[in-house]
Structure 1
Amino acid sequence: MQRRTKIRRRDTTEAITGAITGTLARPQLLVLGSHDQAGRKSVAIILGVNPETLRNRVRAASSSEE
């Protein structure tokens, strides 16, 4: 009988939301940025995301700022 161990790893970092392409009702891409060691802003990643998930997160973030 074999024993198996499941290992999950999660790395986190801070990011700046630079832009959302498309409309808030139908977002397409999420552009994230970060600060380098010199403090300059740069594009870190461009994500194609599930529009429904992104729309829900944008709504949640905008309602928490009010």
Structure 2
Amino acid sequence: VKKLKTSNKPKESDLNENELKQAQIITELRNKYKCSQHVTPCYVENERHLELIPSRLVLWAHDIV
């Protein structure tokens, strides 16, 4: 008997309004800062790439909200 893997991704219906806003902002940031050199999105300044790993995106979104 195979066990089905459960997703760690929360259901949209389980998120409160603040968490939904943060998720939307993170999606927008990922799209805006896509990088041609890295798999992860990057904030580029003076040819220096700061990879926007999930924890940085969460912090940034938290500050925006």
Higher Rg: 1
Q: Which has the higher helix share?
A: 2
Q: Between Structure 1 and Structure 2, which shows a larger proportion of strand residues?
A: 1
- Normalised to the residue count of structure 1, the TM-score between the two structures is 0.28
